[in-house]
Amino acid sequence: MSNSEWNQVDFQTFIDKFSEKVIIDNAPTILYSKKDKEHEALNSLIMFFFLTGGLLIFISLSIFFEVVRFFVIVFIAIIVIAALVNSFLIFYYLRSHVPIRLLENWVEVYEGMTKADDVFYCFTYYPVFSGKCHPNKAKNVLYKLLQEELFNSSIDITQIEVYVRINLTDLKDYALIGYYFQYGEGLPFKSEKINRNSWTFFTKEQTTDENFIAVANWDHQYEWRNDLELDYDKLHSYAPWIIQEWDKLNLKPLTKIFKDRVKWDLRGIESVPKLRPWNSNFETTSFDSFKAYKDLQLMNDAIEKVIGKDRKIEKLKDIKKYILEFKAYLRDLKGQ
């Protein structure tokens, strides 16, 4: 599709003409899991309980044998040091196990072809998550470094295209055509095998009976609430699920300035709408993009350069000695 078939419209210009209600009303309600979290620092938690148990035993024995009477300063010093270490361990554990939340929703407006009295529009919504947690713990650390060095942010930006048809003789008369997004139905939530070229179109009828769009996996692809209800393990393992709706406060226009700030080009997101709803059989259109895996490809290239090709990376010990070199490689890549 050529870009000339879709022309981006200034957000303020659009709402001055049509009102912002049409954009807010068509922003898709999203279900996301409260258990989508960063990996737990379990070693810190184990050390916390081990140290706490040891400290209680030490205090009990010291009091029982009256050691505390003769070594008060040493006794207090040991308790203070142990308490400080324990505080650090529990703080590190709690900080590591952070829930990933939906923060806000950015939107771009594109105008397509006009047919008779109808003009086609695409509202491209970008639900923004506070982060992303790769199921492989070691790669998750490396991905965080990539975000820090190249993207300047840990947020994860997703994309849902909503197509509408507006009647030019009555600007309040519009028809929702449907939704287009990466469809992640059928895969376990933590599966590393994801398909970012799984774009699928769904008609507006898909949303009847509160069939909301739901987060399908760790990569924040989407499926439907009905799909989720058929996947018993995913539905219950990741419950509770939060319903996120949008309003004037958390639905914001996406500007070029902000795109530059979040390193849009490095994220591999194709902004231009992918369908031509004015054509027949448009809903069967497939979309493949070599940019879809750009972030993961950048990470894998860095792993190959720094750690080596075909090296098995699963645990933190597999990457521990390469962290500084990995950061240096990414920093050099950023400067190119």
* Segment 142-150 mean pLDDT: 89
Span 161-176, average pLDDT:
90
Dump pLDDT digits (tens) for 320-336.
888 889 889 998 887 66
Contact between 269 and 157 (Cβ < 8 Å)? yes
Domain ranges of the chain: 3-37+102-129+155-288, 42-96
**Distance (Å, rounded) from C-alpha 159 to C-alpha 214?**
13
Please report the pLDDT score of residue 204 as a whole number: 95
pLDDT tens-digit map of 6-44: 999 999 999 999 889 999 999 999 999 999 988 554 455
pLDDT at res. 137: 86
Q: What is the mean pLDDT of residues 292-313?
A: 89
- Read off the pLDDT band of 186 (50, 70, 90): confident
Q: Which two tokens stand for residue 97?
A: 């196990």
Residue 1 has pLDDT above 50, yes or no: no
C-alpha span between 128 and 267 (Å, rounded):
13
Summarised one tens digit per residue, pLDDT across range 79-117 is 788 778 767 655 554 555 688 999 999 999 999 999 988
Q: What percent of the chain has a predicted confidence (pLDDT) above 90?
A: 57
The Cα–Cα gap between 23 and 214 comes to 20
> CA 156, 132, 182, 292 torsion: positive or negative?
positive
| pLDDT at residue 166 tops 80 | yes
